[in-house]
Amino acid sequence: MFMNGIFYFPKEYILTSLWPIYVISFVVVPLMIVISIKKVFIGTNKDESDIFSKDTALVYRGIAALIVMIHHYALRIQPPQKMFYYWFVGYLAVSIFFFLSGYASWYQLERKANRFWDKYFFKRLIRLLLPFVITNTIYALFYRPSITNYFKAMLALKQIRGEYNEWSVVWFLAAILIFTMLFWISFRFTSQSEIGLGIFVIGTIIYIIVNGFVLHNGNYWYNSALAYATGIAYGIYRKQISTIINRMKNMLVPILTIICGGILFATTKGYQDWWIQIICSEIFLCLIISLEHSLKLSSIMLSRLGKASWEIFLIHPLVYSVYYSCFKDYFGFSGVICVTIGIALGILINILDERLFSLIMR
């Protein structure tokens, strides 16, 4: 027997009531974001050192992690009703992750110079693959594949889910590994940031073309791909961009909100072409950058979620599968339970990962 588990990857979640997940999605999450706003900069400019600082980046990652969890849950809810609106925001949350990764890579390179390349691949591979190996081993405990197929899944970057044809490539991990290599190619051998950025953009366009027109992968493989390059570009031209935004932010924020909201609304009405999603992703990032110059965000809870966002991303599909394989939805609280357990497990795995990473780096 290839599998000896009772768990499966459900194609839909039947809920007796949608109100609990409505409260989480449309009340609790927006309220958490609002509460995280500690200061608004209207007539004054924000200190440059506070713009996309490490603490602020973790808050954005926490928000994005919550949106991705609810997005994946909403895709299978029957009947979808209002949760339908969460079907079209997943790639925007991923854009935040890519943007912050690109910006952080450039920021660290600018700060450390040539020292940045010391153990470059080793540190990044450990950060990415250690959580993947741990979470996939947890998947294997439930689905019990053969030893051979267990290692095949690891090498192919596939999560172990139910039957073999349900195993899925962790596309985000694959994309980040590609961008990590592309960043090295783009900036390792040139001292001119503009040339490096140009190489990275060309490489990203090739990535989009290959995934969209050669491999015919789903839109989610590439509709937020330019965000990584956008993060690098923002890092390179940060001073010039900040000057423009500080001069025009009171006008930029409402205009970008209307444009981004209009395009996003259009996607819910069937206009879901990949190029529309790419445009919406980039406008959304312009909005995020403008808001970052206008607001000071701080939240212990969202920061904790942001720190464990990679582990949460990896483990939450297993939580959904196991829950709906074992329990029925009697009171409509299954969504709340699944999201809560996914967050808790992600944080616990992150604590383990951090300790193992420290040991390995010694």
Distances (CA, A) of 263 to 30, 84, 236, 293: 20, 16, 28, 23
How many alpha carbons lie under 13 Å from residue 65 in its C-beta half-sphere?
A: 30
Task: Check pLDDT > 50 for residue 322.
Answer: yes
Q: What are the tens digits of pLDDT across the range 47-81?
A: 888 999 999 999 999 999 999 999 999 999 988 88
Residue 278 in tokens: 């790419």
Q: Kindly report the average pLDDT of the chain as a whole number.
A: 93
Res. 269 pLDDT band, cuts 50 70 90: confident
Provide mean pLDDT across the span 183-203: 96
Provide mean pLDDT across the span 325-340: 91
Task: Check pLDDT > 80 for residue 165.
Answer: no
Per-residue pLDDT, 1:
32
Cβ atoms of residues 179 and 22 within 8 Å = no
Q: Which residues contact 174 (CB under 8 A, 6 or more apart)?
A: 157
Per-residue pLDDT, 5:
54
- Kindly state the percentage of the chain with pLDDT values over 70: 98
Provide mean pLDDT across the span 32-47: 92
Res. 3 pLDDT band, cuts 50 70 90: very low
- Kindly state the percentage of the chain with pLDDT values over 90: 79
What whole-number distance in Å separates Cα of residue 289 and Cα of residue 167? 36
Per-residue pLDDT, 303:
97
Task: Check pLDDT > 50 for residue 2.
Answer: no
Q: At what angle do helices 226-236 and 90-112 cross, to 10 degrees?
A: 40
Of how many residues is the chain composed?
Answer: 362
Res. 331 pLDDT band, cuts 50 70 90: confident
